[in-house]
Amino acid sequence: MTDGTIDYGERGRVIVVADAGALAQHAAELVRDTTREVVSDRANAYVALSGGSTPKAMGAILGAEPVRDEVPWGSVHFFWGDERWVPIESPESNAGEAIRGFLDHVPVPRDQVHPFDTSGNPAESAAKYERLIRTVVPGAPLPMFDLILLGMGDDGHTASLFPGTAALSITDRLVTENWVEKLDATRLTFTAPLINAARHVAFLIAGAGKAERLAEVLDGEHDPVRLPSQLIRPKHGQLTWLVDETAAARLARAPK
Ligand code: 6PG
């Protein structure tokens, strides 16, 4: 298979790259290019990061030369699309890992890095994050992120929208707490309406373990309670699936 793009119509555009390393590189360049383009036009860019292994590798690239010197850090605000209910010091914390991994090593003003507050209770924390997003991120009726990065689990979840969970049907909130039975844990997550208001949503998906589920998500019936990643369909924005060759192996359509 050669690198290329697959048109999935209203389900988005799939970009296939060689491997997880190439995926991290492509994602870092997407953050760089998006933020540069946005700030050539207006004061600030708004990006939501995701948890997972690929974003970690992407962070290492963003935090090192040459890409580090090419991002307009002073004008970028960072949020997270989901978070675990752990203190930021925990290695399980999505924000904590990104801050320690690269944001601490680049010249982004600290007050433009917006992790969830996981000190109170989950419902309050979700409401507080929603208020923060409404205050900081422009857009009406919904705040509009310039770029939201997402992962996809091998069960089809994205952000912390897990199959069969209550958060899937929430349409009147931007952020919610979500009890995930199979993890025996509470997560905090953007809801689908907030994600779908973004200018660009990009999934980062690598590895053979994701291949079958990705094919179901893109080629299969619409069944978002079982495959929450199917809830992601930006209303006016772009949807990109950045995938490596092993994750793309079961797709019905081939890259051009
Ligand atoms: C999390 C994530 C989650 C993740 C996927 C994919 O906090 O766990 O936000 O949605 O992105 O599970 O993770 P990998 O890329 O590590 O497979």
41 C-alpha to ligand 1 centroid (Å): 32
Check pocket membership of 55 for ligand 1, CB cut-off 6 A.
no
On whether the pTM is more than 0.75, the answer is yes
Instruction: Kindly provide the b/e burial profile for residues 108-127, where b requires at least 16 CB atoms within 10 angstroms of the residue's own CB.
Output: beeebbbbbebeeebeebbb
For residue 255, what pLDDT is reported? 77
Check pocket membership of 153 for ligand 1, CB cut-off 6 A.
yes
pLDDT > 90 fraction of the chain, expressed in percent and rounded: 95
Q: Is 101 exposed, middle or buried (0-12, 13-18, 19+ CB in 10 A)?
A: middle
**pLDDT, average across residues 117-145:** 97
For residue 1, what pLDDT is reported? 40
Please report, to the nearest 10 degrees, the dihedral formed by the alpha carbons of residues 205, 126, 196, 38 taken in order: -80
Q: Is 42 exposed, middle or buried (0-12, 13-18, 19+ CB in 10 A)?
A: exposed
Measured by CA distance, the residue closest to atom 13 of ligand 1 is 52
Is it the case that residue 256 has pLDDT exceeding 80? Answer: no
51 C-alpha to ligand 1 centroid (Å): 5
Residue 100's SS3 state is helix
> Which of 63, 73, 64, 126 minimizes the C-alpha distance to 99?
63
Per-residue pLDDT of 154-175, as tens digits, reads 999 999 999 999 999 999 999 9
Per-residue pLDDT of 53-79, as tens digits, reads 888 999 999 999 999 999 999 999 999
Check pocket membership of 229 for ligand 1, CB cut-off 6 A.
no
pLDDT bin (cut points 50, 70, 90) of residue 233 is very high
Atom of ligand 1 nearest to the CA of 207: 17
Check pocket membership of 189 for ligand 1, CB cut-off 6 A.
no
Check pocket membership of 54 for ligand 1, CB cut-off 6 A.
yes
42 C-alpha to ligand 1 centroid (Å): 31
Atom of ligand 1 nearest to the CA of 204: 15
197 C-alpha to ligand 1 centroid (Å): 21
Measured by CA distance, the residue closest to atom 14 of ligand 1 is 52
**pLDDT, average across residues 221-227:** 98
For residue 50, give both structure tokens.
């995701």
For residue 52, what pLDDT is reported? 86
Domains of the chain plus CATH, in order, are: 4-223+234-239 (3.40.50.1360)
Check pocket membership of 228 for ligand 1, CB cut-off 6 A.
no
Q: Considering just the CA atoms, what is the radius of gyration of the chain in Å? A: 17
> Which of 243, 250, 156, 236 minimizes the C-alpha distance to 200?
236
Check pocket membership of 82 for ligand 1, CB cut-off 6 A.
yes
Alpha helices per DSSP H over the chain:
20-39, 53-62, 94-101, 122-136, 192-196, 211-219, 245-248
For residue 3, what pLDDT is reported? 61
For residue 48, give both structure tokens.
């939501």
> Cα(242)–Cα(33) distance, rounded to whole angstroms?
15
84: which DSSP letter?
E
